[in-house]
Copies of this chain bind each other. A is one copy, B any other.
Amino acid sequence: MFNNLQNIAEELIRHSGGRATSGRIGILAILLAEQQAITHREIEKRLPETLPLDRVTLYRALEWLAGKSLIHKVISDDRVWRFHANRELHSHQHAHFKCTRCAQVICLDDLPAGQNWSLPTGYRFQEIELTVKGLCADCG
């Protein structure tokens, strides 16, 4: 099962025209296995002992994966990036929920239509970044 994700990850990476290194595959597999967006540190903790990875390498791999749109980054009010695999459902814009108590982040599917945000004249819309904050089921 874990192996299955490894294979999917490898396939996705090759398909994006990059080198299928064990680091990238392992990282993407971890993100694919995760329901929520998780931090750099959380990814580090989930790395198997057989795959020790330098902090910097992890950062660079994440940046590369995000550049290839295989994952996306979410910023939140703790000033920490969180990463999440771009499953089909989420490949386009979507909102995030962040628990104000346990800091867990999950993805929501909806997003208010972006274009009809009334921006001042001359301003051009590109994208929307929306985080709903509250208490998750465990903390609420």
Contact = CB atoms under 8 A, between A and B. Distances in A.
Interface of A: 73, 75-77, 79, 81, 95, 97, 100, 106, 108, 110, 112, 114, 117-137, 140
A121 B124 CA distance: 36
A130 B130 contact: yes
A132 B137 contact: no
B117 A136 contact: no
Nearest to A129: B131
Given A75-B75, A79-B75, A117-B95, A130 B129 contact: yes
Contacts of A128: 130-133
A112 B114 contact: no
Contacts of A106: 120
